[in-house]
């Protein structure tokens, strides 16, 4: 599965805004088939945004500092 680059988040937001405006225009002009297609695209864009946000939160929340490893010394008698 391809993942959206976090740097492209703003672009994806602009796409959803544009799709919403196109849906409104299609409704105004009674282009019902166009409305349906655009709604599918809008839902896909919103899903990508949600997945991207979830990935960003999860990545930030699950980073754990494990510290520096140490080696055990064994003493023989």
In a domain, 28, yes or no: yes
In a domain, 71, yes or no: no
In a domain, 67, yes or no: no
* Domains in the chain, number: 1
Element housing 32 (H / E): helix 32-61
In a domain, 29, yes or no: yes
pLDDT at position 4: 80
**Which residue range forms the structural domain that includes residue 34?**
9-59
In a domain, 55, yes or no: yes
In tens digits, the chain (77 residues) has pLDDT values of: 577 888 889 999 999 999 999 999 999 999 999 999 999 999 999 999 999 998 877 776 555 677 787 877 766 66
In a domain, 34, yes or no: yes
The total of other beta-carbon atoms located within 10 Å of residue 75's CB is: 4
In a domain, 77, yes or no: no
In a domain, 51, yes or no: yes
């Amino acid at each position: 599965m391809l993942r959206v680059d976090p740097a492209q988040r703003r672009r994806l937001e602009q796409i959803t805004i544009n799709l919403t405006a196109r849906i409104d225009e299609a409704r105004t002009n009674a282009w019902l088939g166009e409305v349906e297609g655009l709604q599918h695209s809008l839902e896909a864009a919103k899903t990508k945004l949600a997945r991207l946000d979830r990935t960003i939160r999860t990545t930030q929340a699950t980073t754990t500092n494990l510290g520096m490893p140490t080696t055990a010394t064994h003493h023989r008698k």
